[in-house]
Amino acid sequence: EYPVVVAIDGPAGSGKSSVSKEVARRLGWGFLDTGAAYRALAWHASASGVDTDDAASVVSCLDSFDYRIGTDPHGYAVHVGDTDVTEAIREPGISAVVSAVARVPEVRTHLIEVFRAIMAAEERPGIVVEGRDITTVVAPDAPVRILLTASEAVRMARRSAELVGHSAAATGAQLRARDAADSKVVDFMNAAEGVTTVDSTDLDFDATVEAVLAVIRDAQ
């Protein structure tokens, strides 16, 4: 019995994580934030003193990368070994280097295996998995595949609201640079065949959650 996989991709600031988390909570299903794993690896490489621009050094960190998703009641905490990095991986310093780590092919191969193992081990009836290449590479056969988008202006506004204390201009520039770098590795701006687009530009949080739940219901 495999769990139902709900694959959700989209650009930075599309609301993917918060929406996916809430959808999983309402269904009582599991949740996997794959971006958090790339961030945790970027954190681990930095903490190990590795130059994140050097692919070979990043690859050499994979053996000692002990990625664990939290067992807290909400299940969203991220640990590397015994260190809780849930907050540290959201720092702009990590956002600035994560794309370089994520474009290394050996990193992607390694993490995709980790993600598939987590999906297969899910004991609830389903799991919501979100990232950039879930609908196309990690789980292309998922029965529910969604591309969650929003206009660039709305995505920037949402992200600056999250990062209180950082300038909106700097946040916007970093978000654009990250999307540009990430788009060279995987296409998450255009829906692949069979993938349903949910555009949240004019939807508030609850309406977006409802729209995603409706796609899931329609697929069953």
Q: Is-contact 9 147, C-beta < 8 A?
A: yes
Q: Is 102 annotated as a binding residue?
A: no
Compute the distance between CA of residue 126 and CA of residue 15 in angstroms, rounded to an integer. 21
22 binds ligand C5P (CB under 6 A): no
20 binds ligand C5P (CB under 6 A): no
Q: Is-contact 52 42, C-beta < 8 A?
A: yes
Q: Of the candidates 8, 19, 61, 102, which one interacts with ligand C5P according to CB under 6 A?
A: 102
Compute the distance between CA of residue 9 and CA of residue 42 in angstroms, rounded to an integer. 20
Q: Of the candidates 29, 38, 65, 67, which one interacts with ligand C5P according to CB under 6 A?
A: 38
State the nearest-atom distance from the C-beta of 148 to ligand C5P, in Å.
Answer: 11
Q: Is 57 annotated as a binding residue?
A: no
| Residues 156-195 as x/- pattern, contact with ligand C5P by CB under 6 A | ----------------------x---x-------------
Q: Which is nearer to ligand C5P, 151 or 214 (CB)?
A: 151
Compute the distance between CA of residue 189 and CA of residue 148 in angstroms, rounded to an integer. 9
Q: Is 15 annotated as a binding residue?
A: yes
Q: Which is nearer to ligand C5P, 25 or 176 (CB)?
A: 176
State the nearest-atom distance from the C-beta of 32 to ligand C5P, in Å.
Answer: 10
How far from 38 is each of 1, 26, 34, 182, 187, CA to CA, in Å? 28, 26, 7, 12, 17
21 binds ligand C5P (CB under 6 A): no
Q: Is-contact 171 160, C-beta < 8 A?
A: yes
Please return the burial class of 19, using the count of CB atoms within 10 Å of its CB with bins 0-12, 13-18 and 19+: buried
Q: Which is nearer to ligand C5P, 27 or 111 (CB)?
A: 111
Q: Which helix (H) or strand (E) holds 25?
A: helix 16-27
126 binds ligand C5P (CB under 6 A): no
Q: Is 12 annotated as a binding residue?
A: yes
Q: What is the DSSP letter of 133?
A: S
50 binds ligand C5P (CB under 6 A): no
Q: Of the candidates 19, 21, 30, 34, which one interacts with ligand C5P according to CB under 6 A?
A: 34
Q: Is 30 annotated as a binding residue?
A: no
Q: Is 92 annotated as a binding residue?
A: no
The tokens describing 92, both together, are 């702009």
* Binding site, annotated residues for ATP: 10-18
